Amino acid sequence: MKPIRSLAFVINAEKAGAVGLGRELVSLARAKGVRLKQTTRYPLPRGYLHGCDACCVIGGDGTLLGVVREAALEEVPLIGVNRGSLGFLTTFSPEEARSEFESLLEGSFHIDQRAMLECRVAGGRPNLALNDVLIKDEVTSRLVLLEVSADRELVTDYLCDGLIFSTATGSTAYNLSAGGPIVHPRADVIAMTPICPHTLTNRSIIFRDTVKLRVLNRSKGARLLVGMDGHGELKAASNEPVDISISRLRLPLAQRKGYSHFAVMRTKLKWSGGVAERI
Distance, CA of 246 to CA of 264 (rounded, Å) = 25
Annotated catalytic residue, options 61, 112, 161, 229: 61
Give φ, ψ of 182 to 5 degrees. Answer: -85, 130
Q: Which residues contact 159 (CB under 8 A, 6 or more apart)?
A: 143, 144, 145, 197, 198, 199
Concatenated DSSP letters of 92-122: B-HHHHHHHHHHHHTT--EEEEEEEEEEEET
Whether 61 is catalytic is yes
- What DSSP designation does 243 have? E
Could you tell me which of 95, 99, 103 has the C-alpha nearest to residue 1?
A: 103
Could you tell me which of 128, 214, 204, 198 has the C-alpha nearest to residue 171?
A: 204
Distance, CA of 20 to CA of 29 (rounded, Å) = 15
Identity (one letter) of the amino acid at 251? Answer: L
- 196 within 8 A of 160, measured Cβ to Cβ: yes
CA angle 108, 91, 70 (to 5 degrees): 80
Catalytic residues: 61
